[in-house]
Structures are given as structure tokens and as C-alpha cells.
Structure 1
Amino acid sequence: MLILTRKLGESITIGDNIKITVLGINGKQVKLGILAPDKVSVHREEIYNRIQEENKQASLALKEDLLEVARILKARKSK
């Protein structure tokens, strides 16, 4: 892990097109501004983890739904 120290108003650059700037500091809280292309998703970690979990749950539900459809179609063919 790369660890950097930045002061208010200072930035770091990631690659050619992502810039993170320290916009504010209030006690233990730091406000960051992130400039990135639209195609780059930027999320707080807790939101990203929730999205990943919801995607996982949705894919499991889809699998169950597809298995149920296959069962129904198989039952129809048997008649």
C-alpha cells in the first residue's frame, strides 16, 4: 500500500486521468474531491461492498429462477 501525506488543497494523480484533491479537513474527517472519467466507478467502501453483496444476491436469485423455468419447461415436455 502506498501511503501519501497531503495538505489542504493538495492533490494526488492516479494514472493519466484520475485526480484526488483534499478539499477540507475537520477533526478526524477529511473531505476529498475525485475527478475521474465517467466510465470509472467511484464509491465509498461501504457502498461498494453493499453493491457487491446485492449483485451476488441478485445472481443467486436469477440462478434459482432459471432452474425453476427449466423445471417447468421439462414438466411441460413430459405431458
Structure 2
Amino acid sequence: MLVLSRKKGESIMISDKIEIIILETEGDIVKVGVKAPKNVEIHRKEIYLAIQESNKEASNDRNALLQKLAGWEDR
């Protein structure tokens, strides 16, 4: 893991298209701005993990349905 220190108004670049800007610090809270192309999805980690879990469940449901349909065709 790369660890960087930044002050308010300073930035971090990820490749040449994503910029992370420190907007404000207040105690333990840091407000961060992200400039990125519109096609780049940006989520808080807990939201990202919830999306991944939802996608996994949907995939499992789809696979179960396909198995049921395949069994139905064997009749």
C-alpha cells in the first residue's frame, strides 16, 4: 500500500485521468474530491461491496433458474 500525506488543497494523481483532491480536514474527517472521466465508477467502499454482493446473488439466482430450466427440458 502506498501511503501519502497531503494538506488541504493538495492532490494525488492516479494515471493521467483521475485526480484526488483534499478539500477539507476537520478532526478525524477528511473531505475528498475526485475528478475522473464519467465512465469511471466511483463508490464508497461499503457501497461498492454491497453492489458486488448484489451482483453475486443475482448471478446465483440466474444460475439456479438456468439449472431449473435445463432440468425441465429433460422431461
Pairwise TM-score range, normalised by the shorter structure: over 0.9
Once structures 1 and 2 are overlaid, which stretch shifts more, 65-74 or 43-52? 65-74
Work out which of the two has the higher radius of gyration on C-alpha atoms and give 1 or 2. 1
The one-letter amino acid of 2:38's match is D
- Give the TM-score, by structure 2 length: 0.93
**Per-residue deviation, 1:2:** 0.8
The AA in structure 1 aligned to 2:67 is L
Question: What aligned pairs does 1:33-48 form with structure 2 within 5 A after superposition?
Answer: 33-48=33-48
TM-score (ref. length: structure 1): 0.89
Letter of the structure 2 residue corresponding to residue 57 of structure 1: E
Q: How many residues align?
A: 75
Q: What secondary structure sits across from 2:37 in the alignment?
A: coil
Report the structure, 1 or 2, having the larger helix content.
1
State the Cα RMSD in Å: 0.9
State the alpha-carbon separation in 2 of the partners of residues 2 and 39 from structure 1: 25
Cα distance in 1 between the residues matched to 2:21 and 2:31: 9
* Alignment gaps of 5+ in structure 1: none
Give the letter for the 2:4 counterpart: L
Aligned to 1:74: 74
Structure 2: gaps (5+ residues)? none
Aligned twin of 2:50:
50
